[in-house]
Amino acid sequence: MQTQTWEIGTIVWLLVTGYWLLVTGYWLLVTGDSLPPESQDRYARGVERIIVDLPREWLSVADVCEYMGVSAYVVTRLLRSEQLPAVKMGREWRVARGDFEDWLNAQRLASALRTNTR
């Protein structure tokens, strides 16, 4: 019985820690606060910041799809679930280029942190 409790406790701890790392990484990228030294080292070694070099300040679903090489379904799902910040005007979605850059870099940082902690 005690073994099961320890396993469940470990799983919960891992989930909470992983979520904290994801939220912290995204928050630090969005706010521009400096990363802790250990995260700066990981970020500098493994991940270079992506700059989305598109001529428009507001991107359509088609722009994001073309840039990422994914279907409109994938992008729309991210928008509807509010994972990717956007504005809906009537039936059209628009994503601010800066928000897209921040989201993209947060995803890469979270992925790098997961990879480095394994």
Assess contact for 69 and 33: CB atoms under 8 A: no
How far is Cα 114 from Cα 118, in angstroms, rounded to an integer?
7
* SS3 label, residue 23: helix
Residue 111: per-residue pLDDT: 82
Residue-wise pLDDT tens digits, 56-112: 999 999 999 999 999 999 999 999 999 999 999 999 999 999 999 999 999 888 887
Give the tens place of pLDDT for each residue, 30-66. Answer: 555 555 555 554 444 556 788 899 999 999 999 999 9
Measured between alpha carbons, how far is 25 from 18 in angstroms, rounded to an integer? 11
pLDDT of residue 27 exceeding 80, the answer is no
Specify whether the backbone of 92 is left (phi greater than 0), alpha (psi in -120 to 50) or beta: beta
At residue 88, φ and ψ (nearest 5 deg) are -105, 125
Give pTM, 2 decimals.
Answer: 0.60
Q: Name the strands in the sheet holding 58-59, side by side, starting at the edge strand that comes first in the sequence.
A: 58-59, 92-96, 87-89
Q: Domain ranges for the chain, please list them.
A: 2-117
